[in-house]
Amino acid sequence: MPSNAEIAAVLDQVADLLEFEGANAFRVRAYRNGGRTIGDLPESVQAILDDESRQLTDISGIGKDLAEKIETLATTGSLPFLEELLERIPESVLALLRIPGLGPKKAAVLYRELNIANLDQLKAACEAGEVRQLKGFAAKTEQAILEGIELAAKANERIYWAKADAIAQALLTHLDGCPAVQRREVTGSYRRGRETVGDLDILVESDDATAVMDHFDEFPDIASQIGRGDTKMSVRLESGLQVDLRVVDADAYGAALLYFTGSKAHNIVLRGRAKDRGLKINEYGIFRDDEYLAGREEEDVYRALDLPWIPPPLREARREFEWADADDLPKLVELADIRGDLHMHTTATDGKHTLEEMIAAAQQRKLKYIAITDHSKRVSMAGGLDAKRLRAQWAEIDRLRESTSGIQILKGIECDILEKGGLDLDDEVLAEADWVVCSVHYGQNQPQEQITRRIIGAIENPHVSAIAHPTGRLINRRKPYAVDLDAVMAAAREHGKLLELNSNPARLDLDDVACAAAKAHGVKIVISTDAHHTEGLDVMRYGILQAQRGGLTKNDVANTRTWAQLRKLIGH
Ligand code: DGT
Ligand code: CA
Ligand code: CA
Ligand code: ZN
């Protein structure tokens, strides 16, 4: 359920897009004012929708059309009208609208008169003095725009790893069509599996850099070239993402792979170790004086520094060198280790697929067990389950168990932790469940002590198995709650409860650092998908990356166990 602020942001975006398209000024203003009204509303839109005696049109300034749009948005989480608008306007143009001080009207003039469709083109046009010649623009405007571009670039959101992955795979497939490409890899933060990626860094081994770059330049989604040299090149894609390409020969490939994978902090430690040994390391290899010692493979370079090969997710200059020196690098958990998925939804609440469809999809993915965890009744917008409906779903699970083989279907629930503390369903109901995962969806802005107390209260309940998305953060969109994770972990340890690593690419909650902290506390992690449709089951691999970055092994992750073992672990 979107918050008032989220609804307001959507209405505001609709206003921007309508204005950009030159829509009627009254219409634009209706959305703009509507956004402000909802943003300033002292109570939640949801409360009004829930109350049958009231209507959104009762709010002054919200007409019938707007009320319908808001209701659609509130109940489905998306707005088809906005999607339509977005489809008509190229993604790169949207970046223009976000430049402080430019605004949709001026952006539209630039787009129509000068054909400017992205930030690089706009910057070039300003610098060439073309913008000041337009009606309604001046030299001063040009300067303001240039400053705005800089600001916008800084504020430019890093993209989710999952989105970067889709682009990276397309780029690699494209590069594989070039006969001059020998080895190739996406390096940088992407290879380290960071939750967000600033830009993509592609490394290619080839003895014909020109041919590789010419081929790369034909990638269809390139919006503009940022620069090109003899062996390197940078472009911006239509989506706004920058891609750096570097071409090296075979002798340097391992050294360059190491260098460009980073992190920078990891590289700095490597350089220090090289220096200690009278060696020099750079992206071309490892050298004694001017003699090339190694560089074809990453392993060779690490070996020259008396180190084992270190998995990229660990390369953050955290504990990897300490572990490597003690010959104690963790054997990181892998997707293939995962046996079950313990958080998913069905059409009984806000899922898109039925119980049967989710089970079939889990079987296809070779999962050995799944827990069905629809929302509890407090989440009214999602049609959360009360005891009666939950028991009806469990009866259905009983029937399906008879006709299903190869997979265990667990009776679960995602039970809300109430604002005032306590759980949304009675203990006697929870006692009948195989698996209870608890989460905070309301009262997220409470002070630290209160929200921590609520979560620990759930952990103390003997029927509870795990805490879902323990900090509630949404990457780039919503800060974590003020929760004291240290206290939560201590409680989880004391009561033998699990903490979730929610694999949704927008959540990845717990994050890598918190996963490592949980391990230090002796708390096991359960990596779950929180799937709301069948394909949602595929996000597990993003959670695995985050767990790897946290240094987790198979043993640290509860759902690598059989259900019988896991059940014992949580004392059920
Ligand atoms: P990002 O793009 O912000 O998500 O993060 P990275 O890690 O991909 O950073 P990026 O693209 O600036 O550079 C790629 C790698 O190149 C980086 O991880 C390490 C290496 N690198 C870049 N600049 C430096 C530097 O000044 N010193 C060292 N030692 N390495 C660098
Ligand atoms: Ca990068
Ligand atoms: Ca880069
Ligand atoms: Zn959920």
Residues 423, 553 within the same domain: yes
Which ligand ends up closest to the CA of 262? 1
* Whole-number pLDDT of residue 175: 98
CATH of the domain at 192: 3.30.460.10
Q: How far apart are the first and last CA of the chain?
A: 32
When divided into structural domains, the chain yields a total of 4
Residue nearest to atom 30 of ligand 1 (CA): 264
Distance, CA of 85 to CA of 102 (rounded, Å)? 20
CA dist 537 and 529 (Å) reads 6
13-44 pLDDT, tens digit per residue, is 999 999 999 999 989 999 998 998 888 777 78
331 CB burial (10 A radius; 0-12, 13-18, 19+): exposed
Does residue 296 contact residue 251 with C-beta atoms inside 8 Å?
yes
Q: Give the pLDDT of residue 240.
A: 82
Say if residues 200 and 164 touch (Cβ distance below 8 Å).
yes
Same domain, 299 and 363: no
What atom in ligand 1 is closest to the CA of residue 263? 18
Which of 159, 165, 189, 232 should be mutated for ligand 1, with most atoms under 8 A from CB? 189
Same domain? 240 vs 312: no
Query: 147 and 194 share a domain?
Result: no
Cα(363) to ligand 3 centroid in Å equals 40
d(CA 501, CA 114): 48
Closest residue CA from atom 27 of ligand 1 = 264
450 domain residue, yes or no: yes
Entry pTM: 0.77
Q: Examine the fold and report which residue of 131, 155, 179 is the final residue of a domain before the chain moves on.
A: 155
Q: Are residues 379 and 477 in the same domain?
A: yes
CATH of the domain at 429: 3.20.20.140
Residue ID of nearest Cα to ligand 1 atom 22 = 264
Q: For residue 65, give the amino acid letter.
A: D
Task: Judge if 151 and 163 occupy the same domain.
Answer: no
pLDDT score for 154: 57
| Mean pLDDT in consecutive groups of 10 residues from the start of the chain, 572 residues | 84 92 91 87 84 88 91 90 88 79 86 89 92 90 84 72 97 98 98 97 98 97 91 91 96 98 97 97 96 98 98 97 97 98 97 97 98 96 95 98 96 98 98 98 94 98 98 88 96 98 97 97 98 97 98 98 96 80
In 334-461, DSSP assigns E strands to: 340-341, 369-372, 408-416, 435-439
**Alpha carbon distance 89, 103 (integer Å):** 15
Describe the crossing of helices 119-127 and 139-155 by its angle, rounded to 10 degrees: 150
Nearest ligand 1 atom, CA 268: 29
- Last residue of a domain, which of 126, 155, 184? 155
Q: Give the separation between CA 332 and CA 334, rounded to whole angstroms.
A: 6
Residue 368, token pair as written in the block: 């050995």
Q: What CATH number is attached to the domain comprising 277? A: 3.30.210.10
Instruction: Name the phi and psi angles at 136, rounded to 5.
Output: 90, 0
Give yes or no: residues 453 and 549 share one domain. Answer: yes
- The contacts of residue 43 (CB under 8 Å, 6+ apart) are none
Query: In this structure, are 353 and 479 located in the same domain?
Result: yes
Q: CA 365, CA 301: separation in Å to the nearest integer?
A: 38
User: Best mutation site among 157, 196, 197, 201 for ligand 1, i.e. most ligand atoms within 8 A of its Cβ?
Assistant: 201
Instruction: Specify the DSSP class assigned to residue 21.
Output: T
Of 192, 198, 110, residue with least CA distance to 155: 198
Strand-pairing partners, residue 233, are 228, 245
Structure tokens at 451: 């929200």
**CATH code for position 122:** 1.10.150.110
The confidence score (pLDDT) of residue 42 equals 75
Q: Is 70 exposed, middle or buried (0-12, 13-18, 19+ CB in 10 A)?
A: buried
* Domain's final residue, options 155, 183, 215: 155
pLDDT at 156: 64
| 166 and 272 assigned to the same domain | no
Domain that holds residue 40: 4-155
Q: Is 244 helix (H, G, I), strand (E, B) or coil?
A: strand
Q: Which atom of ligand 1 is nearest to the CA of 158?
A: 4
Kindly state whether residue 257 falls inside one of the protein's structural domains.
Answer: no
DSSP type of residue 101: T
Structural contact between residues 466 and 498, judged by C-beta atoms closer than 8 angstroms: yes
Whether 560 and 507 map to the same domain: the answer is yes
**163 and 151 share a domain?**
no
Ligand 1 atom nearest residue 201's Cα: 11
What is the CB < 6 Å shell around ligand 1? 188-189, 197-199, 201, 259-260, 262-264, 267-268
